[in-house]
Every structure is written in C-alpha cells, then in structure tokens.
Chain A
Amino acid sequence: MTSYDPSFAQEVFENVDYGEEIRMCMQCGVCAASCPLSMRMDYSPRKIFLMIRAGKREEVLSSNAIMLCTSCYSCKVRCPRGVPVIDVMHGLANYALRQGYVPRKKTAIFGQEFWNQIYRLGRIDEKDLSRRYFFADGFTQGIKNSLEMADMGITMFLHKRMKLLPERPIKGIKDLRKMLDKAAQMGKGGGGAV
C-alpha cells in the first residue's frame, strides 16, 4: 500500500527559500496557465507543488520545470492565494543544485557562471560571461559554441554594444565578498555555495 509521505514537504518548508509558501496553494492552476514556458515543462508549477505534498522528491528535484522560469512574474501577480510561485521555483532550483541534481545543465551553468562573476568582480562582463559559459564543457565544445555564436559577437561589436575594456573588480569587492559569504551561511537551510 502506498500513502503520501509528508517528509519531503517538510524538507521543502525548512530548506527551500520561500518553500513554506506552498502551504497556501489551492491547486487552481492559474500559475500554469500564466507561465510562458509551462508547455515545455515536464510538470507545471501547480503539479510541482502537488508533488511536493505527495512526497515525490526525486521527480521534483530532477524536474526541468524548476529551471525553466523566465522570471516574468505572471504567476506571482495572478496567484489568488498570494503564493510567490516564481520565488518558490527559484528556491527549488537552488536547492536541487545544492543537492547535486542538474535538471537543465546549460541554464544551471549559465546561472552559476553569472553568480561566480558577481562574486569575483562585483559586476557582469557580458563578453567574459559568454566565454565562460561557452567553454564550461571543455575546450573543443567551447570552440564549437563560440563559432556557432560568432556572428552575434561580431554584430554586437560592430554596433558598439560590447564593452571592450575588461571589467575590473569594484573597489569594495573584498567587503562585498564578506557580505555574500555571511549571507550564504545565514541562508535558509544553511545555504552555502552551490
């Protein structure tokens, strides 16, 4: 006999940023209907919330849905129960990655490189971020990716939409890192770097 296992819901409430908010979900599906990429998701946000309550840990943490949020906030403004759906999805993505799940590899790498660059410089250098993203899977793949996107790089350069100077760290970078380290420790569920 199978029955619902509440332990995963408890794990989400305690460790996932905004995780406790899903208690308010009444399964109406407005989030799913509002989401621009829900048709690409294996489970809609509504289903993800239901599955958390049903204890489907593996399915939720390896679901592509938690990594496909475009951050458009449609779900958050429309939820009749005030659930910040987007924030829960981001929290789940962060938690899944911390637990070693990689639901959408490219998006995960892009996001992690984005954050690494903020930690390193305090700012984003778009050309450097693209390079790191393209080369994250090794040199050969990096060359392939770069060639594939080369036309765009050239276009941006020719239209003065590429910062040419390398980005230097902001003056307060050391203090910024101390703040971010502290925040990482203090975060929900112990936080820590991914």
Chain B
Amino acid sequence: MKYFLYWGCSLEGSGANFLVSLKPVFETLGVEWEEIKDWNCCGASISYAGANDLAIKVLNARNLAIAEMSGGYDIIAPCSSCYIQMVKVNHEIQEDPELLAKVNEALSEGGLKYNGGVKVRHVLDVLYHDIGVEKIKEKVVKPLKGLKVAGYVGCQSVRPYGEYDSVERPVSHDIVIEALGAEAVEFPKKMRCCGSGIFLPEMEYCFHLVKDILEDALNHGAQLISTVCPMCAMNLEVYQSRINKALGTNFDVPIVYLTQLMAVAFGGDLKHDAALHYNVIPPEQIIQSALE
C-alpha cells in the first residue's frame, strides 16, 4: 500500500528522532511512501493569533490539493498537530459544501483545486488498522520483555474526531506497545494535555500539566513514556530539567517515540535506526536491560 508521508516542520528539527526512526520501521513493515511535493506548514495550533480560520484552512487545503492531484494516496501525518489540522479541514468541508467553495476560491489564486478526496491518517491508525498487530508481532526479533511503558496519547492524535480510536479510552497505542513484547502501563492521565503549542510562552502554567502526567505514569510503574507527538516529546522530555528546577521535582524519565521502540524491537541499530542518541534523557540503559 502506498501513502504520502507528510512529516511537517517539527520532524525536521525538534522531532527528528521521530522521523529517523519512522523510516526504517516503515521499511520493515513494507509501507511505501512518497513526500508531498513542495508541502507547506499546517499552521499548528497557534496560528489563530495571526490568521483567521479560513486562511488556516486554505493553508492545509493546499497540501491536500497537491496530494489529490498527484496520486491521491492517503496521507500519513506523524505529527499530531499536522494530523488534526488536515483532518479538520476534511471534516468541515464534508459537512459544508459552501466552505469547500470558499476554500477553492482562495486556492484558485494559486491555480489549485481540492475536491475533498484525500484521506488523512495518523501513524497509529496506519499501524493498527492497515498493517495490523499480527504483522507487527511477526517482525519483532528483539522483544522488549518486561519493559514497562506508559503509552501517552495526549490530545490531538485522537481528539476530537476519534477517527481510529476512542477519544476517551484509546487502546491502539497500548496494543502496539504490547505487540513489541513490552508491558503497557495503565495510567489515568494518559489523555491529559501537556500544554502543546503554547508551552513556550506559557511555561509556568504548563510545567504543572507535565508534572502531573509524569508523576502519574511513574506512580503506575512506568520505566519510560512512549509518545507519537513531537510536541508531547518536547514538553515532557526537553523541559524536564527545567520543571525539576522550577517545581523542586526529581524527574529523570526517558520519553521515546513509539517508532523508536519499534525500531529496536525490529532488530534495528540503536543509533542508526532508533536514533536513541537524539534523546535528551538517555533511554538506552532501560531499553537494553529489557533486551538481555
């Protein structure tokens, strides 16, 4: 099956370990993909401060229109924000043909047109529904035996549309974790928000959100936390030392992308395939101990 892979801006920078580990995982699973030609940013969750809603929709519709006319394959968006921005446009134009007409009036300024025919998929959706747990299990050569992983879902990967999983009690992340031989830790805060795109300007408030999530995962026995979102990874991992300083906590919990765990379990190189050395809080020791 062939897809477009729309990795977005973060995965070329702060979320680089997501993209580096995603590629060998897709290769192992036989997922064929190509890049959307000359793609643009999705606007993420903060663009409303600078643009009205229609402009943000048109921004996303440009990517969708390019994908539609160059093959129309489903688009995989690993970044939750990219995912939700594009899914939102699709949902709203399906309910409102007038909106589609408006979007197209703006797109025509650049010679594009969108008919609403491209599906946008989250990477978890593709792993869980298209590839399936059985195939993932088949590819595991180094099971992550006994590794206690908190599968942090956060916000924008399932909310608000719940296209592939429950919006309140999602299971796909945990099922993939268990397919790798690890143990998915149940923790009540798995759906709480980390602060997302306003973390940097609203740090003092958002520190408390992350503190609650980390504490909850640890209290339920997690050795590390897995995520599928570059903002969750940034806020939970890179800010951890600042949170310790500001709130007097003592967190030292590695945050990894699910695809990093998959790359390891598929027998990939810890650096070259799993990009574990990109992580600020080193996860190598904990992961290695599960492999022995």
Contact = CB atoms under 8 A, between A and B. Distances in A.
Interface of A: 17-18, 36-37, 40, 67-74, 76-77, 84, 86-87, 90-91, 93-94, 97, 104, 106-116, 118-119, 122-127, 130, 133, 152, 155-156, 159-163, 170-172, 175-176, 178-184, 186-188, 191-194
Contact of B13 (A76, A162, A170): A162
Contact of B193 (A36, A123, A159, A161): A36
A68 B50 contact: no
Interface stretch (B115-123, B201-209, B246-254): B201-209
A40 B193 CA distance: 14
A98 to B, nearest CB: 9
Contacts of B275: 160
Interface of B: 9-10, 12-17, 38-41, 43-55, 57-59, 62, 84, 102-103, 105-107, 109-112, 154-156, 159-160, 162, 167-168, 191-198, 200-202, 205-206, 209, 238-239, 242, 275, 277-280
Given A72-B155, A91-B48, A183-B58, A17 B102 contact: no
A118 B15 contact: no
Given A77-B159, A113-B50, 11 more contacts: A72-B156, A74-B155, A94-B53, A123-B9, A156-B13, A161-B16, A179-B107, A180-B59, A186-B106, A191-B52, A193-B51
A110 B49 contact: yes
Question: What is the predominant secondary structure among interface residues of chain A facing chain B?
Answer: helix
A112 to B, nearest CB: 4
B43 A73 contact: no
A94 B53 CA distance: 9
Given A159-B280, A180-B51, A186-B106, A104 B202 contact: yes
Contacts of B206: 70
B273 to A, nearest CB: 14
A183 B55 contact: yes
B167 A77 contact: yes
B284 to A, nearest CB: 13
Contacts of B43: 115, 118
B46 A73 contact: no
A-B pairs with the 4 shortest C-beta distances? A111-B49, A115-B50, A175-B110, A187-B52
A93 B49 contact: yes
Nearest to A180: B55
A172 B15 CA distance: 25
Contacts of B156: 71-73
Given A76-B160, A106-B201, A179 B49 contact: no
B71 to A, nearest CB: 18
Contacts of A162: 13-14
Nearest to B230: A161
A70 B102 contact: no
Interface centre among B39, B62, B168 (most CB of A within 10 A): B62
Given A180-B55, A184-B51, A194-B49, A73 B40 contact: no
A89 B198 CA distance: 14
Contacts of A181: 109
A36 B196 CA distance: 11
Contacts of B107: 179
Contact of A178 (B14, B44, B109, B154): B109
Given A126-B9, A179-B107, A182-B106, A87 B16 contact: no
Contact of B279 (A118, A159, A171): A159
A178 B71 CA distance: 25
Contact of A110 (B46, B57, B102): B46
